[in-house]
Amino acid sequence: MDNHNQYEKNKEILAHIVEAVRRVIITGQSPKDLPPFLANNEDFNRILSDLEGICRFSLDLANGKLEPELKVKGKLAGSLKSLQANLRHLTWQTQRIAAGDYNQEIEFIGDFSTALNTLVKKLEEDRIALEKHAGELSMYKQNALKLMMDVQMARDDLEKANAQIQSQLEEIHNLHMLLREQAIRDQLTGLFNRRYLMETLERELARAQRGNYPVSLIMVDLDHFKSINDTYGNRVGDIVLQSLGKMLLIKTRLDDIPCRYGGEEIVIVFPNVNAEVTAQRAESLRHAFEELSINNAGLTIYATFSAGVASYPEHATDIESLLQKADQALKSAKNAGRNRVNIYKNP
């Protein structure tokens, strides 16, 4: 019976020892809950401490940490230390190879050594091949640089040529616009000329016919203009005409088209405006010009104008008839005493 009890007790002790060793191997740390008879056993604690150190050292090696020092003695510890030394030397050789030293040869890691030595030999062969073609690569590089410079110079020349062409096109466009302005503007008054008036009326009447809306005219004529020329001279007469033209350019809207019809006669086209509204605008322009003082060499002149209004399609349906009706309304205004606006009335 005593032998059986002793056997069970030894079996329990062995189980604690096995569990403690297993936990060290698995966790890398000695268990803290050892039975008192093991916790107080110095030889057993030293064995666990050595085993813990070996586990920790092995884990460091597996993670690539080659600096830790293993103070445990014995064959297993010696093998691990030897492996650490070989890995340190292998690391140094690898660094030398990375720096271009292809004379390194590894002999202590079996198949890995053979594979690595083959790789180093291949790197050495590639280095020799690269050096052999270094001259060709340098020549290719110089040719490429020269070609890039030629391309850049050609690109710069092309950009300069494009800039010059663009500048010339802008100059041509500006000249074209200037010539067009000169072709359609009256030089004295700055208003559109008679040719532009006829082109505008043809265009606007065609639009009005399609859009079914009115187009009205104001025909303006300076009052007593011949008397102004006879009294003050043609130069002053030109100044009066210029003042009238400038005033009309300022007072008319963007859609209105003031034109010099001939001599001191001016025609203003009002698209999409009926005769009554056009007469109101004519009256406003007449009043503004009546109050305008024209100064020249200390001389102050006041002038007036008469105006006749006609409208498409109320009074006429073609250009010539519309101008005639506006002229008849103008003559009626002059006959009624001048400095007034008159709307043409159908018989």
Predicted local confidence at residue 175, as pLDDT: 72
Tokens representing 17 are 């020892």
**Residue matched to tokens 């001279």:** 233
Q: Is 66 helix (H, G, I), strand (E, B) or coil?
A: coil
pLDDT (tens digit per residue) in 273-285: 999 999 999 999 9
Q: Spot the catalytic one: 12, 19, 264, 283.
A: 264
Is residue 283 part of the annotated active site? The answer reads: no
The pairing of beta strand 293-296 with beta strand 265-271: unpaired
In the predicted structure, residue 1 carries a pLDDT above the cut 60: no
How would DSSP label each residue in 236-272? HHHHHHHHHHHHHHHHS-SS-EEEEEETTEEEEEEET
pLDDT (tens digit per residue) in 94-120: 777 777 776 766 666 665 566 666 766
> Closest Cα to residue 285, out of 323, 238, 244?
244
Report the chain's C-alpha Rg in angstroms.
56
In the predicted structure, residue 268 carries a pLDDT above the cut 90: yes
Give the residue, 336 or 179, on which the prediction is more confident.
Answer: 336
Q: Is the pTM of this model over 0.75?
A: no
Instruction: Indicate the CATH number of 186-343 among 3.30.70.360, 3.30.70.270, 3.40.50.300, 1.10.260.40.
Output: 3.30.70.270
% of the chain residues with pLDDT over 70: 87
Domain residue extents for the chain: 2-130, 136-184, 186-343
Q: Is 232 helix (H, G, I), strand (E, B) or coil?
A: helix
Predicted local confidence at residue 206, as pLDDT: 96
Greatest mean pLDDT range, 46-55, 156-165, 238-247: 238-247
Predicted local confidence at residue 252, as pLDDT: 94
CA atoms within 13 A on the CB side of 145: 6
Predicted local confidence at residue 39, as pLDDT: 67
pLDDT (tens digit per residue) in 280-314: 999 999 999 999 988 877 888 899 999 999 999 99
> Closest Cα to residue 234, out of 262, 263, 259, 260?
263
SS (H, E, C) 169-183: HHHHHHHHHHHHHHH
> Closest Cα to residue 270, out of 306, 327, 312?
312
Euclidean distance between CA atoms 279 and 4, whole angstroms: 139
Binning pLDDT at 50, 70 and 90, where does residue 188 land?
A: very high
pLDDT (tens digit per residue) in 192-224: 999 999 999 999 999 999 999 999 999 999 999
Euclidean distance between CA atoms 339 and 304, whole angstroms: 6
Binning pLDDT at 50, 70 and 90, where does residue 24 land?
A: low
Average pLDDT of the segment spanning 309-330: 96
On average, the pLDDT of the chain sits at 84
Q: Give the other-Cβ count within 10 Å of 247's Cβ.
A: 15
Q: Is 220 helix (H, G, I), strand (E, B) or coil?
A: strand
Phi-psi region of 98 (alpha: psi -120 to 50; beta: other; left: phi over 0): alpha
